[in-house]
Amino acid sequence: MVKIQAESFPNLTNFVIANNSDAEGNSVISLFDAGSDTSFPSGTATRTFDLATGNYEVRLGYFDETDGDSTIDITIGDTELPTLTLNDPPDGAGIAANAAAFVNQQISNSIFIENGDLITINGTSDGDEFTRIDFIEFNALNVPSADIFWRNSETGDNRAWIMDGTNLDQSNPIQSEPADSPWEMRGAGDFDGDEQKDIIWRNTDTGDVGFWLMEGFEFKSGASSTQVSDLNWEIRGTGDFDSDGEEDILWRNTNTGENAVWLMNGTELDQGVLITRQSNGENLLLPEDGLWEMQGAGDLDNDGDADILWRNTQNQEIYYWRMDGTEYVESVFIDSAPISGDWEIRGTMDFDDNGFDDILLRNGSDGQNGIWLMNETGLQQAVATESLTGDEWQSYV
């Protein structure tokens, strides 16, 4: 659910912003200017719809007093909603625009809205009722999840992409985080079970782990999990390691070479498990000597649990650890041309819906992005996708 305060509409004609202590933002838009004692017969407020494309229930918060029957006409994109006549004030309402006169009214039970559509509110006053509007509310019915999140390390800006296969379908700014914040974006996954991809963050000062729970392009709420004060432990990926439908978190200790998985219950840690060899149960250590870099996690063999992706920084060969839960089974070579130059692996996601997670790559120097489409034999095809210029942008899936 997203409420857009009426006073935040950037384009107002005849509508003025008026103080109102009973409004959610302590302000409304109104066709009466108390400062100049001027009223307007009609007015218009417009802004662009900046949420994800999809179907929404739409509601309007307004004040319906007893001193007139003003009207409101709303158009979203090409859709004109039925005229709303303010002629049914709540019991107890009077001539004042106060809490007793407040109404939260459904104006559409389902409307398809595209990102970028224009929202137009036309109001017409009647008597001493001056169309006082508090907010417009959008409740997502089937908004697609974001697929790729982007962070700009220089500006603090963040973006989200919704993909259509390997092609970009929608791109939009999302809530920012200051560039000098100790919180670093570390990955993405559905951590609250709503089929919407969320963002995982790590505080590089305290070791705290946090989540942005998302709905498409919109931040819903924040959550936190267990603190890991030892900053040698780094988050390296997300995936469902124990096949319980919950997104888990992959960790690597850059000091000891230990590797571990947080088995999650939503945003709460259920159990932390060190990765061991299935053959003998030994703790599987891989020294942090710069030769092998852990690149992410994903189900690369379509067996229902996450595997771990590695890159050899010397010969640029790519392998993955085939996993059985949190147990290492074997190393599998991905037969591909070595990654060279400024290309780096950014994570995994099943872009073509064949059950095998694919590999997202980025070239920070020229902004190119690519996807390795995977199948049962390994790398099926390498394809290019939308570019994003600037090495300050990093992607997370």
The pLDDT value recorded for residue 347 is 97
The pLDDT value recorded for residue 324 is 98
**Is the whole model's pTM more than 0.75, yes or no?**
yes
Instruction: Reply yes or no on whether the pLDDT at 336 is more than 90.
Output: no
CA distance 115 to 387: 20
The pLDDT value recorded for residue 339 is 86
Query: Which residue carries 């092998």 as its tokens?
Result: 292
**Each residue's pLDDT tens digit, 198-241:** 999 999 999 999 999 999 999 999 999 999 999 999 999 999 99
Instruction: Reply yes or no on whether the pLDDT at 337 is more than 90.
Output: no
**Each residue's pLDDT tens digit, 45-102:** 999 999 989 999 999 999 999 999 999 999 999 999 999 999 999 999 999 999 999 9
**Residue 146 three-state SS:** coil
The residue type of 314 is: Q
| Contact indicator for 393, 171 with CB cutoff of 8 Å | no
The pLDDT value recorded for residue 228 is 97
The pLDDT value recorded for residue 300 is 97
Classify 341 in phi/psi space as left (phi over 0), alpha (psi -120 to 50) or beta: left
Instruction: Reply yes or no on whether the pLDDT at 143 is more than 90.
Output: no
Instruction: Reply yes or no on whether the pLDDT at 354 is more than 90.
Output: yes
Mean pLDDT of 316-334: 97
DSSP 267-317: TEEEEEEE-EETTT--B-----SSSEEEEEEE-SSSSSS-EEEEEETTT--
In percent, how much of the chain has pLDDT > 70? 100
**Which of 41-45, 317-321, 339-343 is least confident?**
339-343
**Residue 156 three-state SS:** coil
**Mean pLDDT computed over every residue of the chain:** 96
Structural domains of the chain, with CATH: 2-140 (2.60.120.260), 148-396 (2.120.10)
pLDDT band, very low/low/confident/very high, at 341 (cuts 50, 70, 90):
confident
The residue type of 350 is: D
**Each residue's pLDDT tens digit, 120-131:** 999 999 999 999
**Each residue's pLDDT tens digit, 152-175:** 999 999 999 999 999 999 999 999
CA distance 323 to 306: 7
